Amino acid sequence: MALTTALITGASSGIGYEISKLLAEQGHDLVLVARREEHLHQFAASLRKDFAIEVRVIAIDITQLEKIDRLYDTLRKENIPVDILVNNAGLGVWGAFTANDTDAEINQIQLNITALTYLTKLFATDMVKRGLGKILNIASVAGFMPSPYMAVYNASKAYVVSFSEALRVELKGTGVSVTVSCPGPTASEFHQTAGTDNLKLLKLLPAMSCEQVARVSVAGMHKRKALVVPGVINRVMTLLPRIAPRWLVAFTLKLIFKPPKR
């Protein structure tokens, strides 16, 4: 049985946008999920035109779990089984933990951890029943290292890495694979949204394009790999925290992410 329908969260921009294009190019029907409805409809129209596929647009805020319930129920009523789940939506909050807005930090956890877990729970259960499916979780090299001023974000991505690796082993033999992709710095809206786009030391790190990250990530998912780290430099970055003392890694990242004095 061929995989037919892919659901992608955070599909309106960045890595999610490029993953959606790539899966459309490969002939998969799509369910595009993000908050920006107008962007999604414009994107969906171009995909239908270019690739002659079915595209369903669902504009919701997945930090609200009842919205995920409605998404799931809608797809079941419309008889749209999700064969590929791409948990891409995520955000970062930068700054001193004690000074950051509490609601923003909690919202970050809701999106990066809770929504991802709930979506996986719902759709992985159906995949196991059908004996077929692929799950791609987008984490980050940040998941391998503790970072002052990005403490909650890095911790949330560490969760995604650990959760994905554990679930992969748990689902072995069911026909359902779990792949986690850990990009490094990427030329997307992420740093602008997080507020880290003007950090001088961060700018020195080479950034991959969203298209490059998408291609490596999707290829790894189709090969049913456990872990994908796009880019040689990023692979080195994931190894260093395993070799160097963690306090030294945290201190180095403190220098990179420390807010400038005003």
Share above pLDDT 70 across residues of the chain, in percent, rounded to a whole number:
91
Catalytic residue numbers read 153
Q: How confident is the model at residue 233 (pLDDT cuts 50, 70, 90)?
A: confident
Long-range contacts, 125-129 (Cβ 8 Å, 24+)? 126/81, 126/82, 127/82, 127/83, 127/85, 127/174, 127/175, 127/176, 128/171, 128/174, 128/175, 128/176
pTM across the whole model? 0.91
Q: How confident is the model at residue 198 (pLDDT cuts 50, 70, 90)?
A: low
At residue 189, the 3 state secondary structure works out as: coil
Helix 14-25 × helix 37-51 angle, to 10°? 20
Q: How confident is the model at residue 179 (pLDDT cuts 50, 70, 90)?
A: very high
Give the span between the Cα atoms of 203 and 219, in whole angstroms.
28
DSSP 207: -
Average pLDDT value for the chain: 92
The two structure tokens encoding residue 232: 């040689």
pLDDT at 207: 77
Over the stretch 90-117, which tens digit does the pLDDT of each residue have?
Answer: 999 989 999 999 999 999 999 999 999 9
198-209: buried (b, 16+ CB within 10 Å) or exposed (e) per residue? Answer: ebeeeeeeebbe
Sketch the domain layout of the chain as residue ranges: 5-257
In total, the chain counts a number of residues equal to 262
Measured at the alpha carbon of residue 6, what is the angle toward residues 154 and 43, in degrees to the nearest 5? 85
Helix, strand, coil share of the chain (percent; to 5):
55, 15, 30
pLDDT at 208: 83
pLDDT at 41: 97
Over the stretch 112-148, which tens digit does the pLDDT of each residue have?
Answer: 999 999 999 999 999 999 999 999 999 999 999 998 9
- Across residues 214-240, what is the average pLDDT? 94
Distances (CA, A) of 202 to 52, 121, 155, 247: 41, 35, 19, 19
Among the four given CATH numbers 3.40.50.720, 3.40.50.1220, 3.40.50.150, 3.40.50.620, the one describing domain 5-257: 3.40.50.720
Over the stretch 28-68, which tens digit does the pLDDT of each residue have?
Answer: 999 999 999 999 999 999 999 999 999 999 999 999 999 99
pLDDT at 243: 86
Pick the residue with more confidence: 199 or 50?
50
